[in-house]
């Protein structure tokens, strides 16, 4: 019994449980067992393994040692929290006066204050183990006779003093990078030297470089990598053609966004003798050009992926490769790695093969052009496109029936002028042409993963999967409560939660609440990551899944190509051990998350830049967040988000009701709830602080 309880709390260490709840979760039904359970709970409290708060028991996350290593996160309020490396230890509150000389994101050593057994831990930083950043981006400013850097990252909370001897030509108002930072006493500001002059604050390139530095993104390639790229030619030698299936005379084409420059994938379809379809999913063979452990390969690995900022791309590979030699541009011979699938008209897979090929794309389509052909049933390659679309719809229906969840994250597109200034924002529309491409990419990724994970003979090989874990039960219960408050149905106890998600996503499609519900549904899920341990992909409902279809912009796909070729053709010198692949998978998951955050920040900054010219205008919005200090609202037309401060809610005093996800008026009982629709007026935009303020119009 005691071992069961200890194991239970080690697994569920973030919250407290009543004894009856623990009994239920451990399937303890007999009364004598329940009495025994309570006795052991009391003894574990005496042993200080557990602590008790009212009727709830929880893991005592106060460490035995008072010296902790962790990562500092500084809030906008100036105080911070250290997140310990040991996840079983609670976050440690650090008052502003106890931050020492630590910056936001630094790895630090904390000494805990004595006699702490309550809910909160508090301590002070005594040493900086590792700085998060060696260089800091900001704007050079001057006060009286001294210069200082105002960091772009507001959470750094201290300006950096710069001697006039270390300006290196920079002038007040310039965006600069400061390095060689020294900070030895909290009584003095940190000091540094300007190591790079980026340019005038506000220009497109300047903001791109600033954002890249903010997220530690490499936006320049080394001379060694560029030299290697220069030595690669697009001419395909006869030796490279040996063993490749020749698709150059067949109808192969690409379908991409209008502004795309790197074309990873192409499609083909033919009706074969038995009246089935032969679909070719042709992927750029980047591994043919980027060799293992070259400078190009090392830099691509470090980056992990391309980053798509508004109006700019920080590519994983130099442009000569990403936009030309590897890209499946029309009317040029290109080396590809293809998944060729035989399917019936009902979408049943009869057979498939994975092989190296050579193609010559006959046409570069945009999504809009393909949609026009689908709508009007005529145009270039109309027969092939209509067949592919019909088959994609069949595959999609089958996938959703089998447990795949149709999440939709609305996105915006920007129309920029020649200076990179946003002049128009509109929501991206997902059409059949988008879903057509997506369906065949999903099919290729799934087949490649299952081919390695369930081989016909021999042992399962080391491999990198794209996995998505089951959702957390506590988050699902919270999500179900929220959905119910908006009038929708979601049963958190249903046998198939994926089926519940799909029913909900269908019912909210096209409504104003769709964006908020989709966002919160995704937040309630685990994050998809790369892993050597295949646990399946919950969101897609796939037992096996990997990333194979975008090797120009994702290192994971390039590595999957190499592993696949080694296993299928017994060629290649890619000696990846399971341990190496594990480390690589973790790194790629981190670079992906970092890229996503950078892309979101880029979108937010452009939305704010756009809104600064629309102060005083009224918008329709939906409440996307509720806190004790106000209401976050999202404009439904352009998905820009801002804050209605609690002090700007007139005619009453409002209290935050966490259970109702609402601010509730003391006198009039009026509620502002998460998901409510409101009309708002834009009253303030602060680009420097990335803040947008609204008031609600009654």
pLDDT digits over 145-155, tens only?
889 998 887 77
Range of the structural domain that residue 25 is part of: 2-59
Tell whether 275 is covered by a domain. Answer: yes
Tell whether 685 is covered by a domain. Answer: yes
Average pLDDT over every residue of 17-36 = 87
Nearest to residue 253, comparing CAs of 93, 86, 374, 384?
384
Residues 559 and 628 in one domain: no
Residues 584 and 645 in one domain: no
Residues 580 and 454 in one domain: yes
Residues 161 and 310 in one domain: no
Residue 573: what pLDDT? 67
Residue 598: what pLDDT? 94
pLDDT digits over 77-110, tens only?
789 999 988 777 788 999 998 999 999 999 999 9
Residues 562 and 689 in one domain: no
Quick one: angle between helices 367-376 and 432-453, nearest 10?
110
Q: pLDDT confidence of 633, banded at 50, 70, 90?
A: very high
Question: Which helix (H) or strand (E) segment is 453 a member of?
Answer: helix 432-453
Strands 333-343 and 349-360: antiparallel
Residue 434: what pLDDT? 96
Residues 247 and 275 in one domain: yes
Mark which of 182, 201, 220 sits at the end of a domain. Answer: 201
366 DSSP β-pair partners: 256
pLDDT digits over 287-300, tens only?
999 999 999 999 99
What's the pTM?
Answer: 0.82
Residues 488 and 560 in one domain: no
Q: What share of the chain is helix, strand, coil (3-state, %, to 5)?
A: 30, 30, 40
pLDDT over 90 (residue 317): yes
Residues 387 and 424 in one domain: yes
Say which CATH number the domain at 147 has: 2.40.50.690
pLDDT over 80 (residue 64): no
Tell whether 660 is covered by a domain. Answer: yes
Q: pLDDT confidence of 61, banded at 50, 70, 90?
A: low
pLDDT digits over 192-243, tens only?
999 988 887 766 667 778 888 888 898 889 999 999 999 999 999 999 999 9
Mark which of 600, 622, 647 sits at the end of a domain. Answer: 600
Tell whether 302 is covered by a domain. Answer: yes
Report the alpha-carbon distance of residue 436 to residue 54 in Å, rounded: 56
Tell whether 215 is covered by a domain. Answer: no
Question: Residue 264: how many CA atoms within 13 Å on its side-chain side?
Answer: 20
Tell whether 162 is covered by a domain. Answer: yes
Decide if 529 contacts 591 (C-beta within 8 A).
no
Residues 444 and 316 in one domain: yes
Residues 157 and 306 in one domain: no
pLDDT, greater one: 601 or 498: 601
Nearest to residue 524, comparing CAs of 592, 474, 590?
474
pLDDT digits over 391-400, tens only?
999 999 999 9
Count of helix runs (H) and strand runs (E) in the chain: 16, 34
pLDDT over 60 (residue 457): no
Q: Give the burial class of 336: count Cβ atoms within 10 A of its Cβ; 0-12 exposed, 13-18 middle, 19 or more buried.
A: buried
Residue 383: what pLDDT? 97
Tell whether 97 is covered by a domain. Answer: yes
Residues 148 and 17 in one domain: no
Q: How many domains does the chain have?
A: 6
pLDDT digits over 643-672, tens only?
999 999 988 999 998 888 899 999 999 999
Residues 417 and 428 in one domain: yes
């Amino acid at each position: 019994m005691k071992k069961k309880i200890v194991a239970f709390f080690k697994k569920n260490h973030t919250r407290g449980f009543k004894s009856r709840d623990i009994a239920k979760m451990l399937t303890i039904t007999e009364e004598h067992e329940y009495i025994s359970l309570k006795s052991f709970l009391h003894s574990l409290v005496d042993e200080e393994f557990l602590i008790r708060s009212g009727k709830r028991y929880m893991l005592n996350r106060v460490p035995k040692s008072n010296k902790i290593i962790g990562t500092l996160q500084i809030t906008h309020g100036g105080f911070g929290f250290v997140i310990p490396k040991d996840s079983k230890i609670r976050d440690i509150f650090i008052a502003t006066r106890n931050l020492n000389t630590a910056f936001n994101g630094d790895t630090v050593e904390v000494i805990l204050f004595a006699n702490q057994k309550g809910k909160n831990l508090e301590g002070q930083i005594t040493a900086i183990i590792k700085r998060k950043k060696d260089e800091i981006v900001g704007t050079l400013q001057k006060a009286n006779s001294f210069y200082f850097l105002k960091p772009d990252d507001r959470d750094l909370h201290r300006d950096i003093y710069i001697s006039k001897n270390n300006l290196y030509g920079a002038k007040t108002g310039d965006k600069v990078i400061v390095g060689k930072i020294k900070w030895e006493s909290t009584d003095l500001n940190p000091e540094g030297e300007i190591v790079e002059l980026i340019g005038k604050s506000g220009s497109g390139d300047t903001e791109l470089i600033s954002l890249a530095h903010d997220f530690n993104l490499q936006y320049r390639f080394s001379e060694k990598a560029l030299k290697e790229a220069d030595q690669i030619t697009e001419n395909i030698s006869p030796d490279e053609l040996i063993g490749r299936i020749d698709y150059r005379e067949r109808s192969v084409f690409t379908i991409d966004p209008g502004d795309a420059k790197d074309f990873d994938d192409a499609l083909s379809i033919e009706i074969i003798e038995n009246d089935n379809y032969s679909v070719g999913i042709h992927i750029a063979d980047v591994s043919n050009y980027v060799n293992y452990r070259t400078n190009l390969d090392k830099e691509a690995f470090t980056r992990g992926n391309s980053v798509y900022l508004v109006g700019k791309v920080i590519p994983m590979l130099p442009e000569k490769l990403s936009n030309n030699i590897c890209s499946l541009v029309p009317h040029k011979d290109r080396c590809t790695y293809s998944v060729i699938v035989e399917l019936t008209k009902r979408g049943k897979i009869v057979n498939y093969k994975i092989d190296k090929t050579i193609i010559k794309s006959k046409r570069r389509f945009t999504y809009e052009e393909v949609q026009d052909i689908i709508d009007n049933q005529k145009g270039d390659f109309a027969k092939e496109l209509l067949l592919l679309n019909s088959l994609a719809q069949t595959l999609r229906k089958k996938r959703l029936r089998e447990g795949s969840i149709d999440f939709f994250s609305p996105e915006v597109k920007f129309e920029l002028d020649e200076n990179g200034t946003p002049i128009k924002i509109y929501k991206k529309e997902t059409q059949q042409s988008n879903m057509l491409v997506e369906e065949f990419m999903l099919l290729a990724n799934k087949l490649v993963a299952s081919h390695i994970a369930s081989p016909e003979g021999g042992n399962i090989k080391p491999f990198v999967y794209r996995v998505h874990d089951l959702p957390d039960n506590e988050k699902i219960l919270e999500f179900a409560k929220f959905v119910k408050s908006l009038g929708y149905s979601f049963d958190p106890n249903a046998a198939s939660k994926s089926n519940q998600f799909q029913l909900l996503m269908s019912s909210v499609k096209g409504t104003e609440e769709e964006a908020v519900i989709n966002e919160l549904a995704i937040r309630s899920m685990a994050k998809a990551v790369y892993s050597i341990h295949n646990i399946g992909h919950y969101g897609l409902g796939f037992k096996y899944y990997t990333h194979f279809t975008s090797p120009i912009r994702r290192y994971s796909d390039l590595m999957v190509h190499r592993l696949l070729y080694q296993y299928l053709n017994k060629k290649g010198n890619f000696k990846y051990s399971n341990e190496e692949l594990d480390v690589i998978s973790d790194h790629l998951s981190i670079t992906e998350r970092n890229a996503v955050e950078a892309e979101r920040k880029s979108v937010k900054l452009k939305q704010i830049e756009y809104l600064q010219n629309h102060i005083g205008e009224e918008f329709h919005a939906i409440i996307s967040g509720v806190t004790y200090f106000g209401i976050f609202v999202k404009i439904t037309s352009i998905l820009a988000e801002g804050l209605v401060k609690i002090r700007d809610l007139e005619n009453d005093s409002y209290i935050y009701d966490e259970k109702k996800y609402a601010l509730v008026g003391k006198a009039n009982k009026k509620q502002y709830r998460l998901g409510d629709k409101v009309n708002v007026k834009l009253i303030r935009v602060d680009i420097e602080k990335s803040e947008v303020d609204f008031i609600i119009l009654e």
